[in-house]
Structure 1
């Protein structure tokens, strides 16, 4: 009987295999047949599955684990960011302009100059920049530069002109065209105001989009990312997202990650159902709907229960009226959609939970796996509601070190600092965690999120922010694999290394359970397997046994 058994295409062996079923890695072997895991056991137990054609890869002490499943990203905006100027290292407005100028000179044929990741909270004066500094270098070429948090942009006069924005232009319903004392636009566009410019800047030809997406897939493979959740990212991104392009990649066998699409929750349930029907394969599917409740802390657009410490006349406000959000969610929940809400402030998080609770009362309780994204500042009274309502806590731990901590604390006040990114408290309360990056707000590299989750080192690089909120490597990896699979109703086929599950696997160049915490940041991916195929491998080949 053994001889008739189908032989494995690949057998992976390591002294450190993290299946996700145990708390620590163990010596194991994994047999892959076609696109599935055929068996997990000792090397001896799997010997009968090794045939003449089987590729046997022994990784020694390197860690084998389920492929990373990024629970929250924006693939096309991230693809674009990979090619554009990154301004995170700039330490002044002048330095940022200089970096943009150098990039623009190297890309003379790009009609728009696009950049990402500037953050004036790291600049000496900490003030917001203006269009005039860009105008001196770019009088005739439009420029749009996104802040590190992605919720506001810095543009020049040419970009304003092309978008027909002047002193008489009204603010969108959720957003602000910042203006000076004379009523003239300053060049800062907050929240949905940025979409007035990206309507033009992001109007890219299909070929360009395909090239960008191809680079994204390579980037994902190099980081061991085998599944992603592509979330709606406001009207700012509406010109970039292209589900039909993703489908073309799938049809041409070029889609090397599993893509779970979360288009906009906007009340149009019929259209959402059409999209769900159109995209429902093993590689590409509509998995739910997503919407924003608020903005971010640094621009004071996060919706808070109490006023901002440094601007007591505002608590921020919701992107939509609460009754409208409830109507949308009740209708979508009735059609068994999973809903994801961006909610950063404590009032926004409470509103999201209230809306989910209302849907449960009206439609009846079900296994909905709704999720709240980010969960930066939370009121402790709301923590237990995640588990009781079955709401997933979707978090990006490295975000706590993206914003300069001093500025962040100035906004919310010292008293609320203890309630920021309380990932361990949420986990202990029984909430299901799922981790991701919010790429391109952060790098697609999962190691940054793992490191920050287990270290809690803040933006200064030394101090630990609420050490009790640290979680273990095992908990972080499980949230980044099983937690995300659970959140997309795929825990029966993804997220752990078990016989019968899909062969989506990552091999790291070291066992991160067994190294100093800071070394997690240096960890690279040795190999990535998606659907049973090797989609990435470092130059040095593993030993063959």
Structure 2
């Protein structure tokens, strides 16, 4: 094609810092976007041919252009609700948390349910589970449902228990528990799948759901997030609204790609329907998810050997091991990909056993099965994970759940022998395990910079321990960015069109306000997205740089000429 016949781009971006994700390099140059795809990438001189009278041209100087972030693990509707509720993270006692709930409830008199998040008795002064009576004294006549910080348990008042018909005669559901007092009465704490007894509480009005979803999409765009993996399953609950998502896609308002997962529960009828029905590039069924264990902070993660600070317990699985193994084998036989929550090394081993059993029974295929969290791994299982080609889906921010390192309970839980294998991020990479990052939002903030900072520094918020916790597990900036871009694209079988910048790839791009490769680590968390492009459309623009239909650069600039992208 001659120059005058050259297809003109809708958008051209240029910078002295472009990270394509194909290698570790950051290069100067420019890229052209036509429709929803990247048309070309190269030096400024090369891309000049793509500029027409209607092309939007953005020059970002030294600011970083890179693939859009892809959050590999979050809970969309739960996170959206989080921003519309009372946050109890700062409460230091049961009484203080209840007062915060009361103040919020008084400010929202029309809400049928009072929702809250992030209370954590582990960090309270008394370190005891809360009781419904404390809420009843302040809010006796409205139902209250408060997720704890892990979203593996909830605190309810008596009115909520009454509406939900949870009484002393209500049986514990499979894999769940209703906490009871000495007289056998429910205390108001529901653990794991017992939260499913509160399903009716989450029948939100359409107006509220639309408002919350719009808020999520706006927030995702402001962080440069162009794709997500939405985990519908919570213990006992499924929170996701496909009709809502589909309506936004139909109206052109779905500005973040959604890959969603349903529950692995032994029934494959619904997954078969979802796989057939949701296949678009914006809204796509991505597989099945189940919980193998809980979390180490409350001794519910399943370990190979007992907890160092509770030697009478190794935790346990949420589902009998043979049951979940059977479910995985059956799902794998029908070519479903499976993602298993496993925080403890015993649960990680069980997950690998499940995937290995599927291989033995069904044969080897490109399954891209995944283990979520991998907070600690037994050294004997590192090579197994690599051999079975299991993806490690990790959220580095979880390693700093306590702001100050002296308050970090993991060294006490795991002891010195397991400490080197806690969040073994670099070790997994060295052993050729595919590593994908996500936030687990709303358990931690949605901002990718939070996870990236933690992965490259391994510091808590008090900047301790010096040099980082297990500094041998720190990774490079390029490795961290790939874990948030190309690795998740691989994880959803879309590496051919997402996750890197190259001609023909979908135009999912973020521009950051600084070059992450040229700043000191403390500044990582201050980094902001300037521009977010999803499917070729600008969905967020923090501030317009000067635009024109030409680059206004010196053609004698040798740096630009010798730094074209390949």
Local SS of the residue matching 1:46: helix
Aligned to 2:296: 297
Aligned to 1:280: 279
Distance 1:115 1:272, change over 3 A: same
TM superposition shift of 1:242: 1.3
Residues 460-504 of structure 1 show CA distances to partners (whole Å, capped at 9, x for unaligned) of 542232111111111000010000000000000000000000000
Aligned to 1:435: 437
Distance 1:335 1:401, change over 3 A: same
Alignment partners' CA distance in 2, 1:183 and 1:325? 31
Alignment partners' CA distance in 2, 1:4 and 1:540? 30
Pairing partner for 1:407 from 400, 406, 409: 409
Residues 199-223 of structure 1 show CA distances to partners (whole Å, capped at 9, x for unaligned) of 1321212332222111111111111
Alignment partners' CA distance in 2, 1:125 and 1:323? 38
Pairing partner for 2:512 from 504, 508, 512: 508
Residues 96-131 of structure 1 show CA distances to partners (whole Å, capped at 9, x for unaligned) of 222222222221111111111122333333333222
Between 1:203-212 and 1:250-259, the stretch displaced more is 203-212
Alignment partners' CA distance in 1, 2:463 and 2:179? 33
Contact 2:262 2:287 in 1 (8 A): yes
Aligned to 2:343: 344
Note the residue ranges of structure 2 that are not aligned, 5 or more in a row.
552-566
Residues 4-58 of structure 1 show CA distances to partners (whole Å, capped at 9, x for unaligned) of 1110100000111110012132112010000000011111111100111110000
Query: Aligned ranges for residues 475-514 of structure 1 at < 5 Å?
Result: 475-514=479-518
Contact 1:31 1:40 in 2 (8 A): yes
Alignment partners' CA distance in 2, 1:88 and 1:325? 33
Query: Aligned ranges for residues 18-417 of structure 1 at < 5 Å?
Result: 18-197=19-198, 199-234=199-234, 236-238=236-238, 240-403=239-402, 405-417=407-419
Aligned to 2:447: 445
Between 1:510-519 and 1:309-318, the stretch displaced more is 309-318
TM superposition shift of 1:540: 4.6
Local SS of the residue matching 2:125: coil
Contact 1:387 1:431 in 2 (8 A): yes
TM superposition shift of 1:86: 1.4
TM superposition shift of 1:236: 4.2
Pairing partner for 1:529 from 526, 533, 536: 533
TM superposition shift of 1:176: 1.6
Contact 2:222 2:529 in 1 (8 A): yes
Contact 2:18 2:27 in 1 (8 A): yes
Local SS of the residue matching 2:89: coil
Pairing partner for 1:471 from 468, 475, 480: 475
Residues 272-320 of structure 1 show CA distances to partners (whole Å, capped at 9, x for unaligned) of 1111000001111112111111111122221111223343333222222
Contact 1:434 1:480 in 2 (8 A): yes
Alignment partners' CA distance in 1, 2:150 and 2:25? 34
Pairing partner for 1:422 from 421, 424, 428: 424
Q: How many residues align?
A: 543
Alignment partners' CA distance in 2, 1:456 and 1:123? 25
Alignment partners' CA distance in 2, 1:401 and 1:29? 38
Alignment partners' CA distance in 2, 1:249 and 1:411? 45
Between 1:180-189 and 1:78-87, the stretch displaced more is 180-189
After superposing on structure 2, the runs of 4+ consecutive aligned residues of structure 1 that deviate more than 4 Å are none
Query: Aligned ranges for residues 454-469 of structure 1 at < 5 Å?
Result: 454-458=456-460, 460-463=462-465, 464-469=468-473
Note the residue ranges of structure 1 that are not aligned, 5 or more in a row.
none
Local SS of the residue matching 1:170: coil
RMSD: 1.6
Local SS of the residue matching 1:80: helix
Distance 1:149 1:271, change over 3 A: same
Local SS of the residue matching 1:513: helix
Between 1:10-19 and 1:283-292, the stretch displaced more is 283-292
Local SS of the residue matching 2:538: strand
Alignment partners' CA distance in 2, 1:248 and 1:318? 38
Alignment partners' CA distance in 2, 1:298 and 1:113? 26
TM-score (norm 1): 0.96
Aligned to 2:556: none
Local SS of the residue matching 1:52: coil
Between 1:225-234 and 1:521-530, the stretch displaced more is 225-234
TM-score (norm 2): 0.93
Alignment partners' CA distance in 2, 1:174 and 1:457? 35
Contact 1:8 1:32 in 2 (8 A): yes
Alignment partners' CA distance in 2, 1:211 and 1:96? 27
Contact 1:121 1:403 in 2 (8 A): no
